[in-house]
């Protein structure tokens, strides 16, 4: 009878489901599987390796089969770019390109040979952009070369671009402290060539903004003085963004996740490699340019807003939020009052300017240092630095002066 068969099927279903459930419970209760699960959670190194390759993507070596010793192949003028190798204190070898400032290159009577002999002279005459690229690909990647060309010609600056450890033809494997060591080795190389510290502008794009921020903070701590710091399409810190979502409650990203056992721990570990630029901000001395495009789909421009606010923080009344995820009902009034006072003071100390069809510029000048946030309408993630408007803010904020020939 149909009814009986139906009941049989239900029973069979229950038995199957129950069996699977029981099986899963038995597996989870088995010491072997428990140890697998627990080690997956606790095995810092293995977890981070996966996470690291996701952050750095250094295995993507674009362009393929790049010939780093012939930068001409990628659009740079003949013998304008020196391919060199920089050694780090922990024995890695970093591939790097040094591009002569165009005013210097063009002042030469003919195409130079023995390029390394020209390096000290151009470093003496022209400022240098120390450029830290984003994740994936190498120093020969087209979008990056367009940056070197623009800095050399439009800003009249020399450019030093490195491939971090594990990238391009550099040795080693990437890690946060490793990349910062690499950045410092590049700085030290420039100084060893006779560059004045105040002639070096530290610039980083995307992941490189995290490297630039850490280097700038480290140098500031040690009393060194660069020309300034440029953060292009930067991120603040992943943790901070998660926390911000909690406070405003707009996207309660962490709440459902937090209910799953171990997920909060995983997030904490994931954030160990966090390039905490937000934490580095208070340590950076000297002027800073932050720029972000509104149409950046990789890293939203809210990251730059958070960074800029962090530079403002010392000059604003504090926003003291109660601990925990929720603001109790009776604290809301206090919270909004604080917020209003904060906004009023903020509007008082910063100047804001809209540039039609280009974007907005916010600026504060305090204690002899300027912090400027240029938010562009266009440029996306990879081409923001190629916006001539952004380059002009680099030129004026850091006193590169009008383009000089010879
Ligand atoms: C670097 O390499 C040299 C020679 O291979 C070796 O003597 C030295 O101990 C190494 N230093 C470090 C920090 O690994
Ligand atoms: C570029 O430099 C190399 C090495 O110094 C030299 O042999 C070559 O002639 C130069 N190229 C040109 C076009 O002058």
In whole angstroms, give the CA distance from residue 82 to residue 152: 14
- Is residue 238 within 8 Å of residue 204, measured between CB atoms? no
Q: Which of the four pLDDT bands, split at 50, 70 and 90, describes residue 318?
A: confident
Is 65 in a helix, a strand, or coil?
coil
- DSSP run (H or E) holding 289: strand 288-293
Domain at 71-319+330-397, CATH from 3.40.605.10, 3.20.20.70, 3.40.50.1820, 2.40.30.10: 3.40.50.1820
Burial zone of 389 (CB within 10 Å; 0-12 exposed, 13-18 middle, 19+ buried): middle
Does pLDDT of 255 surpass 60? Answer: no
DSSP 8-class letter at 3: H
Q: What are phi and psi of 374, to 5 degrees?
A: -105, 110
Q: Which of the four pLDDT bands, split at 50, 70 and 90, describes residue 265?
A: low
Q: Identify which ligand lies nearest to the alpha carbon of 71.
A: 2
Q: Identify which ligand lies nearest to the alpha carbon of 89.
A: 1
Q: How far is the CA of 88 from the centre of ligand 1 (A)?
A: 11
Does pLDDT of 197 surpass 50? Answer: yes
- Is residue 97 within 8 Å of residue 166, measured between CB atoms? no
Identify which of 288, 280, 338, 342 has the alpha carbon closest to the alpha carbon of residue 315: 342
Is 128 in a helix, a strand, or coil?
strand
Mean pLDDT of 205-225: 96
Tokens read off for 381 = 């993630």
Q: Report pLDDT for 172.
A: 94
From 214-218, 223-227, 314-318, 346-350, the region with the lowest mean pLDDT: 314-318
In whole angstroms, give the CA distance from residue 85 to residue 169: 9
CB neighbour list of residue 71: distance below 8 Å, 6 or more residues apart: 80, 81, 83, 97, 99, 140
Average pLDDT over all residues of the chain: 84
Q: Report pLDDT for 154.
A: 94
Q: Which of the four pLDDT bands, split at 50, 70 and 90, describes residue 314?
A: confident
Is 84 in a helix, a strand, or coil?
strand
HSE-up (13 A, CA, CB side) for residue 104: 27
Identify which of 261, 139, 280 has the alpha carbon closest to the alpha carbon of residue 210: 280
Tokens read off for 178 = 């490793």
User: pLDDT tens digits for 130-150?
Assistant: 999 998 889 999 999 999 999
Q: Cβ–Cβ contacts within 10 Å for residue 292, how many? A: 30
- Is residue 165 within 8 Å of residue 179, measured between CB atoms? yes
**Which residue owns the Cα nearest ligand 2 atom 9?**
113
Q: Which of the four pLDDT bands, split at 50, 70 and 90, describes residue 330?
A: confident
Name the region of 230 (left: φ>0; alpha: ψ -120 to 50; beta: rest).
beta
Does pLDDT of 189 surpass 90? Answer: yes
Does pLDDT of 2 surpass 80? Answer: no
Q: How far is the CA of 109 from the centre of ligand 2 (A)?
A: 14
Q: Report pLDDT for 383.
A: 95
- Is residue 104 within 8 Å of residue 121, measured between CB atoms? yes
Q: How far is the CA of 92 from the centre of ligand 1 (A)?
A: 10
Question: Ligand 1, from 87, 88, 90, 91: best to mutate by most atoms within 8 Å of Cβ?
Answer: 91
In whole angstroms, give the CA distance from residue 77 to residue 75: 7
User: pLDDT tens digits for 91-130?
Assistant: 999 999 999 999 999 999 999 999 999 999 999 999 999 9
Quickly tell me which residue has 């087209």 as its tokens: 142
Give the pTM.
Answer: 0.81
Q: Which atom of ligand 2 is nearest to the CA of 79?
A: 1
User: pLDDT tens digits for 268-309?
Assistant: 655 555 678 888 988 999 999 999 999 987 788 888 998 998
In whole angstroms, give the CA distance from residue 136 to residue 320: 39
User: pLDDT tens digits for 217-251?
Assistant: 999 999 999 999 999 999 887 555 454 443 333 44
């Amino acid at each position: 009878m149909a009814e009986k068969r139906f009941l049989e099927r239900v029973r069979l279903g229950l038995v199957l489901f129950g069996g699977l459930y029981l099986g899963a419970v038995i597996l989870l209760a088995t010491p072997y599987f428990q140890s697998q699960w627990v080690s997956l959670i606790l095995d810092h190194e293995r977890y981070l390796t996966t996470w690291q390759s996701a952050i750095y993507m250094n295995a993507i070596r674009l362009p393929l089969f790049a010939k780093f010793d012939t930068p001409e192949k990628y659009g740079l003028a003949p013998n304008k770019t020196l391919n060199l190798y920089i050694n780090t204190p922990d024995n890695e070898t970093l591939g790097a390109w040094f591009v002569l400032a165009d005013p210097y290159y063009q002042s030469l009577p003919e195409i130079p040979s023995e390029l390394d002999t020209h390096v000290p002279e151009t470093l003496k005459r022209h400022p240098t952009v120390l450029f830290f690229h984003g994740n994936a690909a190498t120093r020969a990647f087209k979008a990056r070369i367009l940056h070197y060309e623009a800095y050399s010609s439009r800003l009249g600056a020399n450019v030093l671009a490195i491939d971090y450890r594990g990238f391009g033809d550099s040795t080693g494997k990437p890690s946060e402290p490793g990349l910062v060591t690499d950045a410092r080795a590049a700085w030290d190389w420039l100084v060893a060539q006779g560059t004045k510290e105040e002639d070096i502008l530290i610039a980083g794009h995307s992941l490189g903004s995290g490297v630039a921020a850490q280097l700038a903070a480290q140098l500031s701590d040690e009393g060194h003085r660069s020309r300034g710091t440029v953060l292009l399409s930067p991120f603040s810190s992943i943790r901070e963004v998660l926390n911000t979502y909690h406070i405003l409650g707009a996207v309660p990203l962490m709440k459902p996740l937090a209910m799953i056992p171990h997920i909060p721990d995983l997030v904490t570990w994931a954030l160990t490699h966090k390039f905490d630029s937000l934490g580095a901000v208070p340590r950076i001395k000297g002027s800073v340019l932050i720029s972000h495009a509104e149409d950046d789909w990789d890293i939203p421009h809210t990251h730059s807003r958070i960074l800029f606010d962090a530079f403002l923080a010392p000059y604003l009344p504090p926003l003291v939020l109660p601990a925990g995820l929720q603001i109790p009902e009776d604290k809301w009034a206090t919270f909004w009052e604080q917020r209003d006072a904060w906004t009023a003071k903020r509007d008082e100390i910063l100047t804001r300017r809209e540039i039609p069809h280009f974007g907005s510029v916010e600026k504060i000048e305090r204690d002899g240092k300027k912090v400027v946030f240029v938010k562009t309408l266009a440029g996306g993630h990879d081409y923001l630095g190629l916006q001539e408007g952004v380059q002009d803010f680099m030129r004026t904020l850091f006193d590169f002066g009008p383009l000089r020939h010879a």
